[in-house]
Structure 1
Amino acid sequence: MLAWLPWAWVVLALIFVIAEIFTAGFFLICFGVGAAGAGLAAFLGASVEWQFAIFVLLSSLAVVLVRPFANRVSNPNTHLVGIDRVLGKEGVVLETIDPISGRGVVRINSEQWSAESTEGRPIVAGSQVVVVAVQGTHLKVQPILPA
C-alpha cells in the first residue's frame, strides 16, 4: 500500500542535499541525513510512525552535532589580528595628543601606540579614548565623554 514511501524519503533526502549546495550553513544537510535514515528504516519495513520518529531524531541529532562545525566554517576568523584588533578598543592617553603636531601616545590594553585626535583639539594625558580608525601604525582616537 505504501510501497512508494521509502522512495519518497530518498527523494526528500536528495532534495535536502541538493538544496544545501545552494545555501550556506550546513543546515539543510541535517534534514537530508534524517530523511535518508527514515528511508533506510522504510526499506527495512519500519512503520510510518517509526520512520517519522527516526527522521525527527536523526535530523535533530545532526543539527546538534553539525552546528558547531558549521559555525567554525562559516565564521573562520572572528578574531581580528594585527593592528585591526584595536579598533573600537578603549584606552588611556599617556602623552597629550597635540592637534598641531597631530601626535601623542595612548595605551590600549598593555600596548603603547602613536595616536592622533580625530577632533582636531588636544586630548590631555590621562583622558579615556576610543580607537575609531587605524592609519598605518598610528591610531585615530576620539575622547570618551564622561556620562
Structure 2
Amino acid sequence: MDLWLIWLIIAGVLIVVEMLTLTFYLLWLGIGALAAAIVDVIYPDALLLEVIIGCVVALLLTVFTKPITRRFQVGRGFRDAVDELVGMQGTVLEDIDPDTPGIVKIGSETWSAKSSESIKKGEAIIVISRGSAFLQVNKWGG
C-alpha cells in the first residue's frame, strides 16, 4: 500500500472523529496528515519531510486558529461532551477519599473522580462539576 494512501486514511479517521467530538483537537492533526499525503505524492521517498511538513502544518493551524476556536467554544450553544456528565448518576468502581481520587462509572464509561467525602466502591454518586482532569462527585442519596 502506498504511503500517501496511509496518510489519507489517517487524515480521514482523524477528521471523522473530530466531527463526532467538535473540540478542534483532532481537526488540525487530520489536516497535517493530509498535507503529509500531498508531500508523499510529490516526493514519494521523503518520509522525514512528510512527517515534518505534517507536524508544522498541524502546529501552525493550532497556533493561528486558537483565538477563532476559543471564540467558537465560548459562543452560545457550545457544550463540551464532558459538560453533559454534570447531573448524571453513576457508581463508584474504586474508592474515593478526600485526598485520593477514585474511578466512577457513568453510563458505559469510566472516569477519574474526586469528592470532598469518602465514597466506597459500589455506592451511587452524582456528578456535580467537572475539572480539567477529574469529575467532582457526591454521594447520591436518591
Structure-1-length-normalised TM-score: 0.48
Structure 1 or 2: larger strand share? 1
Structure with higher Rg: it is 1
Structure-2-length-normalised TM-score: 0.50
